[in-house]
Structure 1
Amino acid sequence: MVIRKATKRETRQIISHSMDVLTEASMGHIPAKKEKVWQMVTPFLAGGGYYLVCTEDDRLQGWVGVGSTTDYYTDKPVGIIPELYVLPPYRKQGIAEKLCDEALRRLQGSGYAAVQLNVFAGNASKQLYQKLGFQDVAILMEKRLD
């Protein structure tokens, strides 16, 4: 198992999975449309974000996005993990945790004092994030009126 920065070809491969990732990660709250995918991916990559990939024998197993933003409330720069995904055949093997550990190591090495991510209610990934030390900061609440 190797974790490294994605090549351009691998980045295209990751983007080709984006609709599935969006549907799964958002627990169906965000409609999977190409326009929405590009609205989310384009600024991330244009702003210096990149993907780390986990491969074995040149087979892509999973990836994590690594980038930065300015915290909306404090105006301080923070690292971000906008996406974490392990392809279904490779789940339950510790890949997600290893990808996150490497992303956190790189963000800390770049001088960030904090790292943020979003996780939708009901997403099982929240348990992994809590295990890695992430804590709830804000909760977005919604009441459907239709």
Structure 2
Amino acid sequence: MRIRNATDYECKKILTYASTVIKESTMGFVKEDISASLQMMPKILADGGYYLVYMDDQMIVGWVGVGQSYNYFTDEVEGLIPELYVLPKYRKQGIAHALLEHAFARLKEAHFKKVQLNVFSGNPAKYLYEKLGFHDVSTLMEKEL
């Protein structure tokens, strides 16, 4: 196992998966639309965010986006995990867990007191997040009109 910061080239390669990541992580709520899915992470990267990659030999098999966001309710800047993805062939091997733990360590080093992420209803990753100590803070609801 080797977890490290992604190079600029690797960030560009990861961004080619953006539509797949959005479609899977939102449980199909957000349709596979490359223009919409390419907007979030570049903004986070431009604001000092980064990707950590999990390497197997010379191949990236998973990554986690790490950034920060301002919480208007608490008036604090908090750590942010905007994206976590493991290639299907490498899932259920502890890679996501290792990436998140590494991200937490980096965020602690940067003196963040909290980290937040968003998980869509029905996403099985929520069980991993809860196992790692995340808890529900709010529920976003919607109604078709």
- TM bracket (short chain): over 0.9
Q: Extract unaligned runs of 5+ from structure 2.
A: none
Aligned-pair CA distance for 1:37: 1.7
RMSD value, Cα: 0.9
Secondary structure of the equivalent of 1:116?
strand
Kindly provide the amino acid, as one letter, of the partner of residue 53 in structure 2: V
Structure 2 counterparts to residues 1-146 of structure 1, below 5 A = 1-145=1-145
TM-score by length of 2: 0.97
| Matched AA of 1:104 | F
2: CA distance, partners of 1:3 / 1:86: 13
Quote the Cα distance in structure 2 between the aligned partners of 1:42 and 1:106.
20
Structure 1: how far apart are the matches of 2:39 and 2:62?
22
In the alignment, residue 121 of structure 2 is paired with which amino acid? Answer: A
Deviation at 1:39, TM superposition (A): 1.9
CA contact (8 A) 2:18 2:38 kept: no
- CA shift for structure 1 position 144: 2.4
Deviations 1:12-35 (A, max 9, x none): 111011110000001111122122
Match of 1:81, SS?
strand
- TM-score, L = length of structure 1: 0.96
Measure the CA separation in 2 of the matches of 1:13 and 1:90: 18
Residues 25-34 or 86-95, more deviating: 25-34
CA distance in 1, matches of 2:47, 2:32: 23
Equivalent pair of 2:69/2:80 in contact (CA under 8 Å):
yes
Structure 1 or 2: larger strand share? 2
Identity score, percent: 50
* Partner AA of 1:40 in structure 2: M
Instruction: Report how many aligned residue pairs link the two structures.
Output: 145
